[in-house]
Amino acid sequence: QTILDSIPTTRRYIGSNQGANWKTFVPPLDTRGRSIPSGCLYLDDFLMCMPVSIFLAIVYVPYKVPGLMELLSHPTKRYILVRDLPAEMRY
């Protein structure tokens, strides 16, 4: 089993019935229980809820991550969230 096979694609949110795009896997940000003003968010929460393909367009990753190129070429899994990546791809 490859790293790509271990990534689930079961979480779906906005526009799930319209095919896979970057909005499909992005959940609403949960700020309840935190002492931040309405409409604000923590940057780490924002980055972790970002699809991998968009995250890599913004953040430079200078080292080789196993399975990353296969993930980016997959039509659906390229849109999963950074927080849903397997541990061997995150660290």
Going by pLDDT thresholds of 50, 70 and 90, the confidence category of residue 55 is very high
pLDDT number for residue 56 = 93
pLDDT number for residue 60 = 92
Going by pLDDT thresholds of 50, 70 and 90, the confidence category of residue 2 is confident
Share of the chain above pLDDT 90, in %: 14
Q: Which residues contact 36 (CB under 8 A, 6 or more apart)?
A: 42
Letter string b/e over residues 48-72, b meaning 16 or more CB atoms within 10 A of that residue's CB: bbbbbeebbeeeeeeeeeebbeebe
What tens digit of pLDDT does each residue of 37-50 get? 777 778 888 888 88
Q: How far apart are CA 65 and CA 85, in angstroms?
A: 11
pLDDT number for residue 57 = 93
pLDDT number for residue 24 = 66
- Per-domain residue ranges of the chain: 4-90
Q: Which residue has the higher pLDDT, 31 or 72?
A: 72
Q: How far apart are CA 36 and CA 91, in angstroms?
A: 29
